[in-house]
Structure 1
Amino acid sequence: MRTNYVLIDYENVQPSALAALEKEHFQIYVFVGANQAKVNYEIADTLQRLGPKASYVKIAGNGPNALDFHVAFYIGQLAAADPNSFFHIISKDTGFDPLIAHLKTKKIYACRSKDIGDMPIVKAANSKSPAEKLEVVVANLKQRGSSRPRTVKTLASTISSLFQKALAEDELSSLLKALQNKGYVSVNETKVSYSLPEQRC
Structure 2
Amino acid sequence: MNIKAMQKRLRDFAASREWQSFHSPKNLAMALMVESAELLEIFQWLTTEQSHTLTQEPADREKVSDEIADVFLYLLQIADRTGIDLEEAVEKKLIKNAQKHPAKLPELLPSCPKVHLLVDCENVSPDAEALKKLLPDGTDVWLFHAPAQRVDAEQHKRAYGANSVTLVERTGAGKNALDFQLSYYAGYLMARQPDARFVVVSNDKGYEPMLEHARKLDFQATRSEYRKPPTLATPATPVVPVVKPAQAQKKKPAPVDKKVLITLSRPKLVPVETTLVADPTSARIAFRAKDALSLMAANQRPASWEALLTLTEGLITEPVADRQDLARKACRVLQLYGTVMLDVDGRNLRYRCPDPVQRAASAESVVNAAQAPALSVLALEKAVIKPKTAIKPQVVKPVAAKPRHSVSHIAKRVELSLKKMTSNRPVRRDGLMKVIATHIGTVLAPVMTPEQVCIVLQSRRVVRILPKGEVAYFSKAKTAKPPETPVQQQTSG
Q: Output the amino acid matched with 1:26.
A: T
3-state SS in 1 of match to 2:183: helix
Pairs within 5 Å for 1:1-40? 1-16=112-127, 17-20=130-133, 26-36=139-149, 38-40=150-152
Task: State the 1:7 CA deviation.
Answer: 0.1
Against the structure 1 CA distance between its residues 44 and 22, is the aligned structure 2 distance closer, same or farther, given a 3 Å change threshold? farther
Q: Which of 46, 62, 66 pairs up with 2:156?
A: 46
Tell me the TM-score normalised to structure 1 length.
Answer: 0.51
Larger Rg: 2
Instruction: Name the aligned partner's letter for residue 47 of structure 1.
Output: K
Instruction: Please say if residues 197 and 221 of structure 2, whose CA atoms lie closer than 8 Å, have aligned partners that are also in contact.
Output: yes
Contact 2:114 2:197 in 1 (8 A): yes
- Following superposition, the deviation at residue 18 of structure 1 comes to 2.8
Q: Which runs of 4+ in 1 moved over 2 A?
A: 18-25, 46-49
1:39 and 1:32 mapped to 2: Cα distance?
A: 7
SS at 2:122 equivalent: coil
Residue 220 of structure 2 corresponds to residue 106 of structure 1 = no
Per the TM alignment, residue 15 of structure 1 is displaced from its structure 2 partner at its CA by 1.3
Q: Which amino acid aligns with 2:214?
A: L
Of the three residues 59, 79, 88, the one matched with 2:199 is 88
% identity of equivalent residues: 30
Write out per-residue CA displacement over residues 138-172 of structure 1, whole angstroms, 9 at most, x where no aligned residue. Answer: xxxxxxxxxxxxxxxxxxxxxxxxxxxxxxxxxxx
Q: 2:181 aligns with which of 70, 73, 82?
A: 70
User: Shift of the alpha carbon at 1:68?
Assistant: 0.8
**Aligned partners of 2:133, 2:166: CA distance in 1, in Å?**
16
Q: Which amino acid aligns with 2:218?
A: K
Please provide the CA RMSD for this pair. Answer: 2.5
Which of 1 and 2 has higher RCO (CA within 8 Å, sep 6+)?
Answer: 1
Determine the C-alpha separation between the residues in 1 that align with 2:195 and 2:209.
21
More divergent stretch after superposition (46-55 vs 56-65) = 46-55
- Is the strand fraction higher in 1 or 2? 1
Unaligned runs of 5+ in 1: 118-201
Amino acid at match of 1:80: A
1:116-135, aligned counterparts within 5 Å? none
- Cα distance in 2, alignment partners of residues 51 and 19 from structure 1: 16
2:169 equivalent among 44, 58, 65: 58
Structure 2-normalised TM-score?
A: 0.22
Closer, same or farther: CA 89–100 of 1 in aligned 2, 3 Å: same
The answer to whether the Cα contact below 8 Å between 1:4 and 1:87 also exists between their aligned partners in 2 is yes
Shift of 1:9: 0.1
Instruction: Quickly say closer, same or farther: Cα 1:48–1:60, change in 2 above 3 A.
Output: farther
Conserved? CA contact 2:115–2:137, under 8 Å: no
Distance 1:30 1:116, change over 3 A: farther
Q: Distance in 1 between matches of 2:203 and 2:222?
A: 12
Q: Distance in 2 between matches of 1:57 and 1:111?
A: 20
Unpaired runs of 5+ in structure 2? 1-111, 229-493
Q: Counterparts of 1:2 and 1:77 in 2: how far apart (Å)?
A: 16
**Matched residue SS, 2:154:** helix
CA distance in 2, matches of 1:111, 1:58: 22
